[in-house]
């Protein structure tokens, strides 16, 4: 417990002092009653607050309006519930919040003053508009409860949080240079569409979550009693691979995310499978995701938002020759001179 | 005047994360919150009024006062619902209130006087102080008048405290407003009823709790809106958001605070009852020291501390000059009981001036009262009465010197008794003189056969030049007494106006010379003094007199003493027929100066040379001032006191109507100015805005206009949902408006500005989209 405002305490003391002075001078019953009420009000207010403090708890949940993910520029909702099963009240409780975007590594602090009603507490609907994609987290760190006379404050630690994944906004169809890409696209596209597989198996390994079902080597899995997958190498020289750079610069990263999302949207709407390859600075390897549908794309971005960003604008492209020597060309999405560029880069 | 609400921005919670405007756009139940504030105002107002009245056991209609004060408190609080209701509501309220108060002013005045009189009586008893002076209550029914006064002060307090409480919850100001007057009964150890103690304590508890929470009133940013939350200043890198007020929370906290207060008050009252509270208590020594001063103040007012001397109305006992205006208190100086016998004024002489002292400006007088009496005249009249001559009469008058100059004795014309033996309360026999009677008073009837002395003809050298000129102008020389007096009176009536504010006689100026030569305006003492010197100058013995002159209208308004028999108090000729005994109060407003002049063979006669007032009635209080402003000060015909508002002068009614219409017209102008001002501000902002802001402003106007009648549109919270809704309503494909949504979002959220062409295209499309059309 701490004294909230010294001046308020002094002011209240002066009020009591004035009442006492009048009582001393007039010896009036009315002034006496008032004086007693003023004096008793202080312990009563503090006591009410102490009891209330024991009962109060905080919960937070998130919602994005019937969708699994939030959308950039759209609203996401966090519901903060201050629960109070007691019959006591506080007119001034403060919630200390931390709001962050984990992908863009931004963070801010906010304090919300709310009332705590009898029995029901209070629920704050906290609509947030994410201007950047990523994972937006709202965390309630503590609650400060003021007594009714606002003389003292009790601080209660709370650790409740909720997150919403915010995907880039859906913009205009992405315009890209198809002529260069189509050279290498046709075979894989056709084979994918026909159900034939012209690729060679490069390696057989254990299943990793995220692997496609069609890559599972069912026969071998049955034998070994563990899921095994076939890593394939396309027989074709050209593949539909998109490699975005996860740059730490906020403006660049926002543009790259938007361009990557739009381009994959456009391409998969054309019925073409896309392979999203991005550089994971944490695991020092590529994360390779096959995308056929919008749901694949959203899930891939949701995973990508957990990655660490880096400074260079060609980090992912640089490692390509070493890690994926078989990759002849890919669509590189990066920033140059402050503008996003998407071009076919040959290794 | 309240400020216009500011547009709410979306605050940045973290980089790339904004708090959506929807956070603010939820609505609070403002009416209920205002009701709570109105309740506090009612508790304070009624607590304050009931406190005082119950402490002095003053009866009034409690149910009516409680009801009206409660309704007015709630009404005043609800005025803060919107800017418009506040501005317009106060004007209408004040206009209506002023009208009602004007109609009931006599009741309200009397109610106040009743409360003051009761307080003074209690104070006189408590302080054992004899200096009692009561106010004249025009209407005697205290139950009614105190109720009216309580209603008046209740409504005034409602309006005043509402400003303190509803705006800023300034409970200290509220306490400072209601407590000081209530310290009077507490000082005199008079305690209020427990109900009113509870009301004040509960109101204070609620106000302290609400004020402490700082969540009782809309803050500056969202004044007059119903937003639940508001952004506060950013402190320590942290955005602070605060709820504005929560009516349920306020009500619940109010219940806790109120219940606590009631429990404490009742517990203390049970444990330490009021009746036994001061048993064995020895009065505080500082209070003891202050009691004399407080007693004087309560019983005698500020005048108890200050000798107001020349400023005060009443008799001047010959002191003239050094007066700029007279302040009248309209309190009874002398109380008279007699039977009216004539429609002329009744004069009670108290002072006779013999020798005028120039430049020092006063009338010297003979110390022996009987030397300046009119005993020979009285004796002659008595003789005539005994002989039952025509027009002769004898009356008995009771005279009580309540607050007049106690060194003087007041007697009517013509009193034959020994004035030296009179006290402050006497019953005197007098013989009225009718103008038609043929009264003869021989010189031998006077002591030593001299009806007058040299003093009665003395004119100071310093005044001779001015008086000579005055007499020459009026050709007084050679006239007999009656003719000269009439000439002087006519001259004064025609040439010199009467006023109670003649201006101060300058230092080193003589009162008479300054009056006749320079100032040429004055009141009775000016006229009487000048007339006496003028008469003396032309050889007519004359004297200056002061006393009280009571008008027949006052007599008619006096209290009828029905249990007194007429015949016991009057016999002989009565020009009014057989009247009855009445009680009349002569106040300082009735103090007067006149002259006595000697007519050879007929004795000393009195004459009043003061002209009738050409000014409007003297302004003595607020209502007189109000009457004066309204253009009709004549209120005599409304004095029946039987019906409220009955017989209000037509001019006054017309005046009230003018005032009300004037205020209403003013209110309409204020409303027009508010609306026009809003539009002008919009135009200025629009002119200064860039194309993005222009588009948003234009869009906002279209949205606002349409959403008033379209509930579904109101539920669409962003551009996308709004445009999609409207497109569907028109039967268009929402996809066709994707470019429009993007342009709006860019204008609304992006730092990249739109260009003029986009603005024109988008605004035209929006205009078309927002037109109400039937669904295709």
Non-local (6+) Cβ contacts of A28 within 8 A are A22, B186, B189, B191
- Looking at beta carbons, which residues of chain B come within 8 Å of A257? none
Same domain, A78 and A191: no
Residue B310 is predicted with a pLDDT of: 42
Whether A162 and A268 share a structural domain: no
| Nearest CA among A319, A347, A325, A344 for reference residue A185 | A344
Residue B372 has what pLDDT?
Answer: 65
Nearest residue to A130 (alpha-carbon basis) of A149, A95, A102: A102
- Same-domain pairing of A186 and A324: yes
Same domain for A122 and A189?
Answer: no
Name the residue range of residue A145's domain.
Answer: 1-167
Looking at residues A83-106, what average pLDDT do you find? Answer: 92
Predicted confidence at residue A161, as pLDDT, reads 93
State mean pLDDT over B97-125. Answer: 88
pLDDT value of residue B304: 57
Q: Look at A149 and B281 and tell me if their CB atoms are within 8 Å.
A: no
The pLDDT confidence band at residue B131, using thresholds 50, 70 and 90, is: low
Q: How confident is the model at residue B638 (pLDDT cuts 50, 70, 90)?
A: very low
Substitution target from B11, B12, B16, B266 for chain A, most A beta carbons within 10 A: B16
- Chain B hits for A34, Cβ within 8 Å: 200-201, 204
Whether pLDDT at A295 is above 50: yes
* A4 occurs within a structural domain: yes
| Whole-number pLDDT of residue B531 | 94
The CATH number of whichever domain residue A50 belongs to comes to 2.60.40.1470
Token digits for B109? 């005045």
Q: Give the residue from A145, A167, A189 where a domain finishes.
A: A167
Contact with chain B for residue A88, Cβ under 8 A: yes
Burial of A18 (0-12, 13-18, 19+ CB in 10 A): middle
What pLDDT was estimated at residue B276? 84
In this prediction, residue B155 carries a pLDDT of 93
Domain termination site, one of A167, A186, A217:
A167
Contact yes or no for A217/A228 (Cβ under 8 A): yes
Query: For chain B, what percent of residues have pLDDT higher than 90?
Result: 26
**CA–CA gap between residue B588 and residue B277 (Å, rounded):** 44
How far is it, in rounded angstroms, from Cα B213 to Cα B216?
7
A230 is a domain residue:
no
B252 touches chain A (CB under 8 A): yes
Of all helices (H) and strands (E), which one includes residue A73?
none
Please check whether residues A194 and A116 belong to one and the same domain: no
Does one domain contain both A149 and A43? yes
Q: How many residues does chain A have?
A: 347
**ipTM reported for the complex, 2 dp:** 0.77
- The arithmetic mean of pLDDT across residues A130-155, rounded, is 92
Q: For residue A175, what pLDDT is reported? A: 66
In a domain, A107, yes or no: yes
pLDDT computed for residue B325 by the predictor: 55
B750 lies within 8 A of chain A by CB: no
Same domain, A9 and A140: yes
A56 has a pLDDT exceeding 90: yes
Q: How many domains are contained in chain A?
A: 2
- Tell whether A102 and A125 lie within a shared domain: yes
Q: Is residue A259 part of a domain?
A: yes
- Residue A13 pLDDT exceeds 90: yes
pLDDT of the residue at B375: 79
What token pair was written down for B25?
A: 């756009």
Average pLDDT over every residue of A199-217: 73
Instruction: Give the one of A41, A127, A129 whose C-beta lies nearest to B260's C-beta.
Output: A41
Confidence of residue B654 (pLDDT cuts 50, 70, 90): low
Q: Are residues A156 and A182 in the same domain?
A: no
Q: Which range has the worst mean pLDDT, A237-246, B146-155, B550-559, B594-603?
A: A237-246
Mean pLDDT of B480-502: 87
Asked if the structure places residue A219 within a domain, the reply is no
In a shared domain, residues A9 and A153: yes
The pLDDT, as a whole number, for residue B2 is 39
Residue-level pLDDT at A93:
92
Q: Looking at the structure, tell me whether residues A187 and A280 fall in a common domain.
A: yes
Predicted confidence (pLDDT) at residue A338 exceeds the cutoff of 60: yes
Q: Which of B28, B99, B242, B73 is nearest to B164 (CA)?
A: B73
Which token pair is A195?
Answer: 């159900």
Higher pLDDT, B717 or B623: B717
> Considering only residues 155 to 184 of chain B, which have any Cβ-Cβ distance to chain A shorter than 8 Å?
172, 183
Per-residue pLDDT tens over the stretch B420-455: 777 878 888 999 988 888 888 888 888 888 888 888
B344–chain A Cβ distance below 8 A for any pair: no
| pLDDT surpasses 80 at A326 | no
**What does the mean pLDDT of chain B come to?**
81
| A77 three-state secondary structure | strand
How far B515 CA sits from the closest chain A CA (Å)? 54
Portion 5-24 of A in contact with B at CB < 8 A: 8, 15, 22, 24
Q: What is the pLDDT of residue A178?
A: 59
Which has more pLDDT, B634 or B721? B721
Same domain, A162 and A194: no
Domain for residue A228, yes or no?
A: no
Interchain CB distance below 8 Å, A106 and B243: no
Predicted confidence band of residue B643 (pLDDT cuts 50, 70, 90): very low
- The pLDDT of B132-150, averaged and rounded, is 82
Lowest mean pLDDT among A13-22, A126-135, B74-83, B765-774: B765-774
Residue A77 belongs to some domain of the structure: yes
Residue A211 lies in a domain: no
- Where residue A193 falls among pLDDT bands split at 50, 70, 90? very low
pLDDT band for position B368 (cuts 50, 70, 90): low
Looking at residue A149, what is its pLDDT?
92
pLDDT in tens, B43-65: 999 999 999 999 999 999 999 99
């Amino acid at each position: 417990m701490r004294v909230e405002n010294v001046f308020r305490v002094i002011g209240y003391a002066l009020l009591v002092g004035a009442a006492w002075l009048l009582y001393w001078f007039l010896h009036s019953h009315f002034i006496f009653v008032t004086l007693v009420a003023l004096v008793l009000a202080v312990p009563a207010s503090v006591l009410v607050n102490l009891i209330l403090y024991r009962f109060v708890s905080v919960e937070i949940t998130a919602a994005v309006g019937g969708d699994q993910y939030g959308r950039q520029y759209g609203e996401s909702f966090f519901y903060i519930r201050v629960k109070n099963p007691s019959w006591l009240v506080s007119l001034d409780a403060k919630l200390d919040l931390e709001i962050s975007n984990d992908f863009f590594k931004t963070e801010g602090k906010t304090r919300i003053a709310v009332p705590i009603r009898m029995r029901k507490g209070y629920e704050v609907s906290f609509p947030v508009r994410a201007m950047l994609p990523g994972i937006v987290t709202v965390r309630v760190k503590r609650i400060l409860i003021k007594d009714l006379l606002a003389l003292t404050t009790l601080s209660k630690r709370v650790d409740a949080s909720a997150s919403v994944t915010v995907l880039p906004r859906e913009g205009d169809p992405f315009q890209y240079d198809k002529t260069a890409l189509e050279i290498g696209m046709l075979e894989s596209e056709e084979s994918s569409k026909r159900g034939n597989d012209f690729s060679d198996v490069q390696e057989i390994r254990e299943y990793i979550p995220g692997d496609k079902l069609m890559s599972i080597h069912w026969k071998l899995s049955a034998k070994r009693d563990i899921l095994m997958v076939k890593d394939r190498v396309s027989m074709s020289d050209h593949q539909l691979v998109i490699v975005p750079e996860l740059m730490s610069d906020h403006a660049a990263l926002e543009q790259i995310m938007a361009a990557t999302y739009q381009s994959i949207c456009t391409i998969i709407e054309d019925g073409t499978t896309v392979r999203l390859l991005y550089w994971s600075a944490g695991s020092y390897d590529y994360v390779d995701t096959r995308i056929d549908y919008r749901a694949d794309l959203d899930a891939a971005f949701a995973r990508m938002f957990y990655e660490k960003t880096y400074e260079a604008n060609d980090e992912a492209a640089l490692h390509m020759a070493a890690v994926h020597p078989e990759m002849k060309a890919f669509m590189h999405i990066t920033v140059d001179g402050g503008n996003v560029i998407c071009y076919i880069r040959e290794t | 005047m309240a400020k216009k609400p500011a547009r709410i921005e979306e605050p940045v919670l973290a980089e790339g994360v904004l708090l959506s405007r929807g956070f603010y756009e939820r609505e609070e139940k403002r009416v209920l919150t205002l009701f709570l504030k109105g309740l506090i105002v009612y508790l304070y107002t009624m607590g304050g009024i009931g406190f005082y009245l119950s402490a002095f056991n003053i009866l009034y209609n409690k149910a009516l006062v409680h009801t009206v004060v409660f309704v007015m408190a709630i009404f005043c609080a609800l005025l803060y619902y919107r800017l418009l209701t506040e501005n317009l509501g106060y004007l209408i309220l004040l206009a209506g209130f002023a009208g009602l108060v004007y109609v009931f002013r006599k009741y309200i005045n009397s109610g106040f006087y009743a409360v003051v009189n009761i307080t003074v009586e209690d104070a006189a008893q408590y302080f054992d102080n004899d200096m009692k002076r009561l106010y004249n209550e025009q209407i005697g029914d205290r139950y009614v008048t105190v109720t009216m006064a309580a209603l008046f002060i209740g409504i005034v307090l409602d309006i005043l405290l509402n400003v303190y409480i509803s705006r800023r919850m300034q409970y200290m100001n509220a306490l400072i407003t209601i407590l000081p007057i209530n310290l009077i009964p507490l000082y005199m150890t008079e305690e209020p009823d427990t109900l009113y103690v509870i009301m004040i304590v509960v109101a204070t508890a609620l106000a302290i709790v609400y004020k402490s929470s700082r969540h009782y009133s809309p803050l500056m940013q969202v004044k007059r809106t119903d937003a639940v939350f508001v952004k506060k200043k950013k402190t320590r890198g942290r955005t602070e958001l605060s709820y504005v007020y929560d009516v349920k929370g306020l009500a619940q906290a109010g219940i806790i605070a109120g219940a606590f207060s009631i429990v404490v008050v009742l517990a203390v009252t049970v444990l330490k009852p009021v009746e036994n509270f001061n048993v064995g208590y020895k009065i505080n020594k500082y209070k003891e020291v202050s009691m004399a001063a407080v007693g004087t103040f309560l019983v005698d007012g500020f005048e108890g501390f200050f000798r107001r001397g020349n400023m005060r109305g009443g008799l001047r006992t010959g002191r003239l000059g050094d007066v700029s205006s007279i302040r009248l208190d309209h309190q009874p100086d002398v109380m008279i009981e007699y039977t009216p016998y004539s429609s002329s004024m009744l004069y009670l002489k108290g002072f006779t001036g013999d020798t005028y002292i120039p430049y020092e400006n006063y009338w010297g007088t003979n110390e022996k009262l009987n030397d300046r009496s009119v005993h020979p005249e009285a004796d002659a009249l008595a003789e005539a009465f005994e002989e039952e001559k025509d027009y002769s009469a004898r009356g008995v008058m009771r005279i009580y010197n309540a607050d007049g100059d106690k060194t003087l004795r007041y007697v009517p014309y013509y009193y034959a008794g020994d004035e030296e033996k009179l006290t402050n309360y006497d019953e005197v026999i007098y013989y009225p003189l009718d103008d038609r009677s043929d009264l003869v008073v021989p010189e031998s009837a006077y002591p030593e056969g001299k009806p007058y002395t040299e003093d009665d003809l003395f004119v100071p050298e310093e005044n001779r030049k001015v008086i000579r000129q005055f007499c020459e102008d009026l050709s007084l020389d050679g006239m007999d007494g009656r003719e000269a007096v009439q000439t002087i009176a006519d001259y004064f009536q025609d040439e010199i106006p009467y006023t109670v504010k003649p201006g101060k006689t300058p230092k080193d100026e003589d009162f008479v010379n300054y009056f006749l030569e320079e100032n040429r305006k004055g009141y009775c003492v000016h006229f009487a003094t000048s007339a006496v010197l003028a008469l003396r100058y032309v050889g007519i013995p004359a004297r200056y007199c002061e006393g009280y002159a009571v008008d027949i209208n006052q007599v008619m308004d006096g209290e009828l003493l029905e249990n007194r028999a007429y015949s016991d108090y009057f016999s002989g000729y009565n020009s009014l027929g057989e009247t009855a005994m009445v009680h009349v109060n002569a106040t300082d407003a009735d103090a007067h100066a006149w002259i006595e002049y000697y007519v050879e063979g007929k004795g000393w006669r009195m004459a009043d040379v003061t002209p009738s007032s050409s000014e409007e009635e003297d302004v003595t209080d607020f209502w007189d001032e109000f009457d004066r402003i309204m253009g009709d000060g004549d209120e005599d015909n409304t004095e029946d006191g039987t019906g409220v508002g009955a017989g209000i002068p037509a001019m006054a009614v017309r005046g009230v109507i003018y005032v009300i219409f004037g205020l209403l017209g003013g209110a309409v102008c204020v409303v027009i100015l508010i609306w026009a001002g809003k539009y002008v501000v919009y135009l200025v902002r629009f002119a200064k805005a860039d194309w993005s802001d222009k588009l948003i402003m234009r869009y906002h106007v279209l949205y606002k206009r349409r959403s008033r009648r379209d509930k579904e549109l109101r539920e669409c919270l962003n551009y996308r949902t709004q445009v999609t809704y409207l497109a569907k309503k028109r039967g268009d494909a929402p996809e066709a408006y994707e470019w429009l949504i993007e342009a709006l979002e860019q204008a609304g959220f992006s730092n990249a500005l739109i260009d003029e062409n986009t603005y024109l295209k988008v605004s035209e499309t929006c205009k078309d989209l927002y037109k109400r059309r039937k669904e295709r």
